[in-house]
Amino acid sequence: MGRETKDIQRKQDLSDSFEIESNSDRPGLGRMSWFATNFAIGVVVFCIIALIAYAAIKLYGDS
């Protein structure tokens, strides 16, 4: 129980610091959402590359 409260407090501290950064950076789009957007794009690109590589191995690996 005590650990969960600490984690919640830590998340609150993190979100506060991100809010301060985003206000000085750009209003509306914080640093965290920018990172999350880039991370999501990276994951999608990685999945597409992995899928193509898997298909290539499946097609040409048997020969």
pLDDT score for 36: 84
pTM: 0.43
The pLDDT tens digits along the chain (63 residues) read 566 666 666 666 655 555 555 445 555 555 567 788 889 999 999 999 999 999 999 998 765
Contact criterion met (CB below 8 Å) for 21 and 31: yes
The tokens of 4 are what? 């969960």
